[in-house]
Structure 1
Amino acid sequence: MRYEVTILQHVGHSSSWTVPLRDRGEKKNRSFSKYITESAEAIVIPKKKTWSKWAVLQALASTVNRDPTAPHYMFQDDPYLTPRTSPEFKLYSLSQESGRMAANHIVNKNPKFFQKDFAEPHIPCLMPETMELCIEEVSEAALLERIMLRKVKAAVDMYDQLLQTGTTVSPDASNDLLDLICLYGDRDPVQDDKPEAEDVQEEGRRRKGRLRRASDLVRIVWRENNNAERIFNLLPERDTRAYSALIRGMVKYGAHVKAFNTYTDMLNNRLTADVHTFNALISAAPEVRERYTEKWDLIVDLLNQMNEQKVKPNLLTFNALLKGLRRCGSLARAQSLHTLSEMKAMGIAPSLASFDHVLGIFYKAGQTDILQEVMTEVAGRTFVAQDPDDGMPVCLDTKDIEAAYKVHDLLSVGENWRMLGDSFQQSIYYISSPYFWLMFNLLCMMEHIDVVLKWYKELIPSLYYPNPQGMRDLLQALDTDNRLDMIPQIWKDIRRMGHDNKSDLVDELLSLMARDKHSPEIQESFAVCALDVKSLYEQGQGARMALEWTATAMTNITSVLLAAQKKQQAWDMLKLFKTKNRVPSEELMEEFLASIKSSNDPQHAMELVQISASFCLPSTPKLAERVLQAFELSEEQKTILSELEVSTEVSE
């Protein structure tokens, strides 16, 4: 029996093909749709389940959760080097990556010392790569070896030697060589442990103090009559694969007009392009036309040719189409939605690159509602990399906390976190990207403090290092919801993250502690925190910190100590005002007087008036009068107060 399967073609036409299915007799009514293949072979049901070598390791890994109180796992081998700030993270992670590259260089340059493999299962990436040539004679086998080792220049030389000796090179080997040349732009690929040439030149420009502009970078361009074109012209028979390699190489390295000319030559030779060729041409279409309508017309023409040549589009085709639409102005919005509808009709699920292109189209036009629709569409889905542009989209400044939650929740679904890239790029997403700074800022502004603290404990310090502004936002959130009792704990995190030398952040923290009165337990914790801050100021310029005493900081620390009944430490701070040439405020003197009255200490009251007089405070006469009224003083003390009062009035 035969089943008819109808699919919707890209431009709306429908075609069909028949798939033979083995007749199952009486059981033909059962559903075997998932076993339908294009061959008529019998269905083979395995007798046992074959597990992969990594199944046990994957099962064990699924039982381990991230510890939010610990730093990132990439730093756990050496706790001494655990970063506390974003710059430190970047420095240490790049240093670690440099060490890994150096190790790979040594392993690959000296493979004879690393032949034993003790790993089970075998881990190929930890073994030295075979980079040395073994076949020296001129033969097709030597050519294939050089192609496999990605030695472009050596492979081209071997190909020329074969032609000079009159040896016929097989079409497959010729196409393999052409693929290699077009992939790497007619030059040897740069090894992982060596810098790119343009990186070296750019570093030289930076050291010379020149401006770093994109136009200064040395780009690989498609040269006229390069080895790819020369070998292509030498081929006795040029098939679709050869044309496809040449066109894709031209598009990759900027020869867009030449790529379309080569495609025209391909059609003149009565050859049909494959889907990869069309994908490259669609991506190059915006480069060969100026006006928006002309760009779109060229893309539509390519799509019509795909339909005529019966080439079925794939995901990369639609992504190239959406990427091209981003450069088509006002046409992009309507056509992008139509493109998504076509993808759905053909059963092709959009990838993250598809949604990223759609967001780019609509956000450029100022329409932000599309973000909610996209997040609803991708919620709960697991993505795998299918396109070079696949990856978690960057944060968009929407001031929408719900959208921020959805973006973050998407990472926790399945293995979507892999879409961020390698471990360094994953950490950059949390630590250095504007997304998490914006999300944390929105949390502090819009959410209840319990929600803010929940996220704070979840992200810090294992994933996110807030900058000083982020910590100020957190302090303001604590103030808004009257949770200033958390300040001492936050101060410990500020110190651990290296922000304790930021004077504006420290002043903000001290002013919040000194502003209101709290329970004795909270005031005691505030006093401990204030003394810790004081120790930072006392370290001076010779230490790592660069905090300088200000009258505001000294006043706030003294107020906190007085509120916690730390009278001796408060008096030491008051004496420090004179040493640092700072003038205490009249409000602070009033707080001192209130503290002295509670303990009924006339001697300290006299000292307070004398200190006020030494600073020539205008409130000194009033302060002396209040001391005379509130305390029982000796005649000598009264005389001293009278003299201080007179001297203050004279100085005024």
Structure 2
Amino acid sequence: MAARSKHVGHYIHQNSRLIFSHFEHLLVRRNLGGIAAVCQRNAPVQRESADAIVVPRKKTWSKEAVLQALAATVKRDPTAPHYMFQDDPYLTPRTSGEFKLYSLSQQSGIMAAKHVINTNPKFFQKDFAEPHIPCLMPETIELRIEDVSEAALLERITLRKVKAAVDMYDQLLQAGTTVSTDATNDLLDLICLYGDHDPVQDDKPETEDVDDARRRKGRPRRAADLVKVVWRENNNAERIFNLLPERNSRAFSALIRGMVKYGAHMKAFNTYTDMLNNRLTADVHTFNALISATTEVREKYNDKWDLVVDLLKQMNEQKVKPNLLTFNAVLKALRRCGPLAKGQSLHTLSEMKALGIAPSLASFHHLLGIFYKSVSSSQGQTEILQEVLTEVAGKTFVPQDPDDVYFFSTAIRICLETKDLESAYRVHNLLNVGENWRLLGDSFQQSIYYGRIFNLLCMMEHIDVVLKWYKELIPSLYYPNTQGMKDLLQALDTDNRLDMIPQIWKDIRRMGHDNKADLVEEMLSLMARDRHSPEVQESFAVCALDVRSLYEHGQGAKMALEWSITAMTNITTILLAAQKNKQAWDMLKLFKTKNRVPSEALIEEFLVRIKDSQQAVELVQISASFCLENTSNLVKRVLQTFELSEEQRSILSELEVTTHINE
């Protein structure tokens, strides 16, 4: 598509004069001078005569104009998977697990490609892309300055090589070279940003020690296996900071923010005290970091809030103007301040508006987190949610805070807990305004959001509306889990649309949920519970036979499901209702093979449908083998209903005597 757009744009650019010439000729021939005048009303027009039309000067378009115009004509196809998988339809994911696996595999491929490009940049110097895409070009990652100099130090800082930069700084000091204050501050910023460790490159594979690999013994990497970076005592940042002949505000700020980021919260406040003792003032970023650390250095709710207020007063005294992140840090801290939070959070929002600072989605996320901490606190309280939705209705938001991506999932969680369908629609309408959908977060956050809204729809909305959303969301935006499919089955049951279960079963198989025994058994119980028209019963029987094949043989790499008495009974009942007597009889024999006891009601239903005397006798034998209480009644009914041979009567008589003895 990009290549085709490139050719279209190139053609338009090269032939613009010819196109406008033909356009002018048509206007003159059809006497549409009025339209030409309208088209050119914003351009300077020079006329040589009354009949001549001079085309205005060529308009310069941006390089992305053609791509943007083409993109505006394309809408999302709800029946298609995510666009990232359309290059290889064979690998189109069917489940959320496959989506995560394939997307991670694709990212691994991108990382491998970057590694090849950055390792061999000399082979990738030509740029054929139009417009130019800098991120696809090789990065400069190799050191070019080898001598000991400040320029070499700055190069290592630019390339984010923390250890190499620290080594170069030490070599400069050992050589007696004075490092400039700006270069030292740049080095401190780098060390404090990455916690005195080299950052993990996007194109580098993760490595681990041999002992760690042996200890894991092939176990998949978990979050607990990743080493958490912490602020070490007397690390390079503190050492270089202590070596500074003159410490300025920037050096203190870098050290404080690094300490807060890597967990040394109390030490950050001590460093801030030293900063004040040196008669230096902090910037807004330093105060933001300290405010976010207040809840870690105080235990009581009042003490936490008092510390936040004290920092805000110091900002005012030092004439430091707060920004959006300052107020978001205050709101985030209030979430851990107990009963004080609700009143102070509203006061904080009022202060934001007084200063002309518009709240971001993260601000409203923290506000909702304060007022709706649990399910119990959410019941029947939607006033704040309604006010927030009124405030953000119709607005377009851009990312300003890392917590912006949590607003939509939080808002829809509250709607689900309060069963507020109207508010859920308002949240979803906000998501579709402009490019707000970009603030929905990663695939995990998207799955949470769509899972919650689908669950709410299944509980509260009519089945036709639920099915419409089902077609819109799956599989282009959402891969439902087992609970999501259960919710859909319950919605079908509520609105008496069980006839659609065979169609939903196809989706269950396609999405890989056919190995979930609880989901399969719930579907079978719904089909076996009531009687329907012959057409519906026939479709149920086809579905039940498909389920039976999964129980018997499995599919592909999936193991066969383990038979349960409930599943066997329901499948048999479905087959009997569809008059699939032969298949139902095979299922009854399976009871004995699997040592499962059929219910007396199932045996009674078999007897009603059996027309052959030999099968009737076998049915009594099966009932007797399981020592069912109604065996004697079965014997009497078979003797009265069927024409039996002497041998069959003898068998039934023996069964009757045996049954009386057992009783």
CA contact (8 A) 1:616 1:648 kept: no
Q: CA deviation at 1:606?
A: 0.7
Q: Is contact 2:620-2:635 (8 Å) kept?
A: no
Residue 334 (structure 1) aligned to one of 343, 366, 391: 343
> Measured at CA, do residues 453 and 642 of structure 1 come closer, stay the same or move farther in structure 2, by a change above 3 Å?
same
Q: Distance in 2 between matches of 1:135 and 1:391?
A: 42
> Secondary structure at 2:573's aligned position in 1?
helix
The equivalent residue for 1:285 is 294
Q: Distance in 2 between matches of 1:419 and 1:217?
A: 29
Instruction: Give the secondary structure class of the aligned counterpart of 1:374.
Output: helix
Residue 509 of structure 1: aligned partner = 523
Relative to structure 1, the CA distance from residue 524 to residue 357 in structure 2 (aligned partners, 3 Å threshold; closer, same or farther) is same
Where is the helix percentage greater, Structure 1 or Structure 2?
A: 2
Find 2:324's aligned residue among 292, 303, 315. Answer: 315
Matches for 1:80-159 after TM superposition, within 5 Å = 80-159=90-169
Of 574, 595, 604, which residue of structure 2 is paired with 1:560?
A: 574
Runs of 5+ consecutive residues of structure 1 not aligned to the other structure: 1-46, 597-603
Q: Compared with structure 1, are the counterparts of its residues 372 and 201 closer, same or farther at alpha carbon in structure 2 (3 Å cutoff)?
A: farther
Deviation at 1:622, TM superposition (A): 4.8
Q: d(CA) in 1 for partners of 2:194 and 2:466?
A: 49
Q: Which has the higher contact order (CA 8 A, sep 6+)?
A: 1
Name the CA distance, whole Å, in 2 between partners of 1:275 and 1:420: 28
CA distance in 2, matches of 1:364, 1:543: 43
The answer as to 2:385 corresponding to 1:356 is no
Larger deviation, residues 166-175 vs 148-157:
166-175
Is 1:75 the equivalent of 2:52? Answer: no
AA partner of residue 442 (structure 1) = L
Distance 1:199 1:476, change over 3 A: farther
Q: Is the 8 A contact 1:333 1:362 kept in 2?
A: yes
1:489 shift after superposition: 0.1
Q: Which residue of 1 aligns with 2:182?
A: 172
2: CA distance, partners of 1:481 / 1:199:
58
Distance 1:461 1:110 in 2: 39
1:475 lines up with 2:489 in the alignment: yes
C-alpha distance 586-288 of structure 1, shift in aligned 2 (>3 A): closer
Against the structure 1 CA distance between its residues 334 and 542, is the aligned structure 2 distance closer, same or farther, given a 3 Å change threshold?
closer
The alpha carbon displacement at 1:538 in A equals 3.2
2:304 alignment counterpart: 295
Structure 1 residue 246: Cα displacement: 2.9
> Residue 541 of structure 1: CA displacement?
10
User: Per the alignment, in what secondary structure is the counterpart of residue 615 of structure 1?
Assistant: helix
Deviates more, 1:613-622 or 1:477-486: 613-622
Other-structure match for 1:250: 259
Preserved CA contact (<8 Å) 2:304 2:337: yes
TM-score by length of 1: 0.80
In structure 2, the residue matched to 1:347 is 356
Q: Which residue of 2 aligns with 1:535?
A: 549
Cα shift readout 1:546-593 (whole Å, capped 9, x = no counterpart): 224445434433433343343444444445555555555444454445
1:580-625 Cα offsets, whole Å, 9 max, x none, are 55555444454445445xxxxxxx4312322223214455665565
Please report the RMSD computed on the Cα atoms of aligned residues, expressed in angstroms.
3.5
Deviates more, 1:471-480 or 1:236-245: 236-245
Q: Quick one: structure 1 residues 641 and 299, their matched pair in 2 at CA, closer, same or farther if it must change by over 3 Å?
A: same
Q: What are the residue-to-residue correspondences of 1:182-261 with 2, within 5 Å?
A: 182-194=192-204, 217-224=227-234, 226-235=235-244, 237-261=246-270
The alpha carbon displacement at 1:627 in A equals 5.8
Q: Could you give the per-residue CA deviations for residues 65-123 of structure 1, whole angstroms, max 9, x where no partner exists? A: 32222222333333333333333333333233223222222222222232222222222
Instruction: Tell me what 2:468 maps to.
Output: 454
Report the Cα offset of residue 218 of structure 1: 4.0
Structure 2 Cα separation of the partners of residues 379 and 501 of structure 1: 43
Q: Name which of 475, 489, 506 aligns with 1:492.
A: 506
Deviation string, structure 1 residues 286-326 (Cα, Å, up to 9, x no partner) = 33444333332332222222222222111011112222223
Distance 2:338 2:88 in 1: 52
Q: Kindly provide the CA deviation profile for residues 349-403 of structure 1, in whole angstroms up to 9, marking residues without a partner as x.
A: 1112212222232334864333343333333322211123331234446242424
CA 1:243–1:103: 2 relative to 1, 3 Å: same
| Alpha-carbon separation, structure 1, partners of 2:212 and 2:373 | 31
CA distance 1:624–1:186, change in 2 (3 Å): closer
What residue is the counterpart of 1:389 in the other structure? Answer: 403
Letter in 1 for 2:325: L
Provide the secondary structure at the position in 1 that maps to 2:480.
Answer: coil
Find the partner of 2:444 among 428, 433, 439. 428
- Residue number in structure 2 paired with 1:605: 612
Q: How many residues align?
A: 588
Q: Tell me, yes or no, if structure 1 residue 418 matches structure 2 residue 428.
A: no
Counterpart amino acid of 1:112?
K
CA distance in 1 between partners of 2:320 and 2:461 (Å)? 52
- Partner Cα separation in structure 2 for residue 285 and residue 590 of structure 1: 72
Deviation at 1:415, TM superposition (A): 1.6
Post-superposition offset of 1:344: 0.9
Distance 1:488 1:227 in 2: 65
Instruction: Report deviation, 1:456.
Output: 1.8
Q: Which runs of 5+ in 2 are unaligned?
A: 1-56
1:554/1:319 Cα in 2 relative to 1: closer, same or farther (>3 Å)? Answer: closer
- SS of 2:492's equivalent in the other structure is helix
CA–CA distance in structure 2, aligned partners of residues 400 and 110 of structure 1:
57
How far the C-alpha of 1:482 sits from its partner, in A, is 0.9
* Pairing partner for 2:653 from 637, 641, 646: 646
Report the alpha carbon displacement of residue 149 of structure 1 after superposing the two structures with TM. Answer: 0.8
Q: Which moved more, 1:357-366 or 1:510-519?
A: 357-366
2:301 touches 2:340 (CA, 8 Å); kept in 1? yes
Q: Deviations over 1:174-231 (max 9, x none)?
A: 332232222222332221244678999987775599998979954331432x433444
Change (3 A) 1:581 1:154: closer
One-letter amino acid of the structure 2 residue matched with residue 611 of structure 1: E
Which AA in structure 1 matches 2:482?
P
CA distance in 2, matches of 1:445, 1:568: 39
2:44 maps to none
* Structure 1 residues 25-70: Cα deviation after superposition (integer angstroms, max 9, x where no partner): xxxxxxxxxxxxxxxxxxxxxx998754334323333332322222
The 2-side partners of 1:456 and 1:541 are apart by 26
- The separation in 2 between residues aligned to 1:415 and 1:205, in whole angstroms, is 46
Is the CA contact 1:222–1:254 (under 8 Å) kept in the aligned structure 2? no
From the superposition, tell whether residues 160 and 448 of structure 1 become closer, same or farther in structure 2 (CA, over 3 Å).
Answer: same
- Mapped to 2, the partners of 1:170 and 1:451 lie a distance apart of 67
The amino acid across from 1:534 in the alignment is R
1:215 to 1:335, Cα distance in 2 relative to 1, 3 A: farther
Could you tell me how far apart the structure 2 residues matched to 1:620 and 1:261 are? 86
User: Contact 2:548/2:571 (CA < 8 Å) preserved in 1?
Assistant: yes
SS in 2 for 1:498: coil
- The one-letter code of the counterpart of 1:223 is E
Q: How big is the shift at 1:340? A: 0.5
**Using a 3 Å threshold, how does the CA distance of structure 1 residues 86 and 152 change in structure 2: closer, same or farther?**
same
